[in-house]
Amino acid sequence: MTSDAGFDVDVLVVGLGPAGASAAAAAAEKGLSVLAIERNAEPGLPVQCAEFVPMMIGMQLPEMGDSRVQAISEMQTFIGGEEAVVTPDFRGYMVDRARFDQYLIAQAQKAGAQCRFATSLRGLDANGMATIGDGETVKAKLVIGADGPRSRVGEAIGAVNTELVETRQITLDLTDPHAATDIFLNAEIVGGYAWLFPRGDVCNLGLGVTAEHKARLKPLLDALHAQLVAEGRVGETIIRHTGGLIPVGGLVGPAGMLGETAVLLAGDAAGLTNPVTGAGIPSAVMSGKSAGVAAAGFVAGDADAPGDYAEELDDIFGPSLALALSRRREILDTYRQGGLPDKGDMRKSWIAFPQYWKKDAAGIPLSQTGQTLEATQAI
């Protein structure tokens, strides 16, 4: 409907990745009027993801259309020239991320959400008035920011991701069938790691580093590509390139107010990606659903719903994020002090090794976090 203020809705969702699509679906299912906008012209594109999803998310979303590509059974971690450390029974699957996003968007539309593409958020003022697209104004009772690491919605409430990792990824032919996620740890990869994730006959090969070392991305990835070609594992021809930003500083926001308009952040916008692994898909879907439910509560008159949402995210993700952030900062301190991490440091910084899972800086054992190894890995 329209008013003197412009277009009125119960909920405005900004961003239609897994978090935004899940939020739009959950809010619409509760009977709210929902407008969801996405700056990209095509649903799910461009893909900026390594496309691995652990079994945990599969149990939450048993119907995913035709987005599944292949099953994953284990993880292999390589440190320097050492043989792989195998983490068995590390199950999940590779997905076609574009199809996955399109599936979630279709569910939102089926629930009644209006989804617009090639439509950006141009501004969100102190009273919660949004300006979108070519200048149309939207007044929502609640705004959900699911617009990624550099969220304009988050910026409007002063919740900004300040620690980011830059990534670069190429897709290549895979010489032989492979059913493991391969992780490469190297002291030259500052603040990140490299990966090979199989997708049937092809694979995604990529790595991430701290933003100040972005210039190292191409030479490091080129070197790893050449190594794997020499080992006979992958082809020489690059099928496609991609890359993007990953927030690695932990939870920001995730709730605020602009006048009488409530604001919630979900997924990457809320800093829910794991600071060590870059895991983001499960937390995006889960937080998006929770944000949609919280929106329904707020619109129905529950003024505490945004605060309850923030507490829920902290309860679910806070301990694992804190542990990962502690491990990340420990290894980065080695660089800041002028040294390089040794193999022991790298084992402590990665989820495949028992050293990682010892008590974190707050003294919280893994058994109290409610998280599992699977929950940390989905990039």
CA distances from 328 to 140, 194, 363 (A): 38, 15, 16
The pLDDT, as a whole number, for residue 69 is 80
Helix (H) or strand (E) holding 13: strand 6-14
Q: Packing angle between helix 18-29 and helix 281-299, nearest 10 degrees?
A: 30
Sorting pLDDT into bands at 50, 70 and 90, what band is 6?
low
Q: What is the pLDDT of residue 48?
A: 67
Q: Which of the residue ranges 38-42, 313-317, 368-372 would you say has the lowest mean pLDDT? A: 368-372
pLDDT value for 1: 43
How large a percentage of the chain has pLDDT more than 90? 74
Element housing 328 (H / E)? helix 305-336
Distance from C-alpha of 36 to C-alpha of 15, rounded to nearest angstrom: 7
What residues does 123 pair with on adjacent strands? 131
For residues 251 and 287, the answer to whether their CB atoms sit within 8 Å is: no
- Of the two residues 68 and 278, the one the predictor is more confident about is 278
Report which of 276, 305, 281 is spatially closest to residue 292, judged by C-alpha positions.
305
125-134, 142-151, 296-305, 354-363: range with lowest mean pLDDT: 354-363
- Residue 83 DSSP symbol: P
- How confident is the model at residue 63, as a pLDDT? 53
Check if the beta carbon of residue 74 is closer than 8 Å to that of residue 92.
no
How far does Cα 327 stand from its chain's mean position?
A: 19
With a CB cutoff of 8 Å and minimum separation 6, the contacts of 320 are: 274, 369, 371, 375, 376
Residue 75 φ/ψ region, left for φ over 0, alpha for ψ in the -120 to 50 degree band, beta for the rest: beta
Angstrom distances, CA of residue 375 to CA of 280, 286, 304:
9, 11, 28
Which residues, at least 6 apart from 108, have a Cβ–Cβ distance to it below 8 Å? Answer: 16, 21, 22, 24, 25, 28, 34, 36, 115
Can you give the pLDDT at residue 3?
44
Residue located via tokens 């009488």: 260
Mean of pLDDT over the chain: 88
Q: Where are the domains of the chain?
A: 2-47+96-162+249-318
The predicted-structure confidence for 180-203, as pLDDT tens digits, reads as follows: 999 999 999 999 999 999 999 999
Q: What is the pLDDT of residues 57-94, one digit of tens each?
A: 444 444 566 777 888 899 999 998 788 999 888 888 88
What backbone phi and psi angles, to 5 degrees, belong to 236? -80, -30
Beta bridge partners of 2: 7
Distance CA 185, CA 281 (A): 22
**pLDDT for residue 238 is more than 50:** yes
CATH topology of domain 2-47+96-162+249-318: FAD/NAD(P)-binding domain (3.50.50)
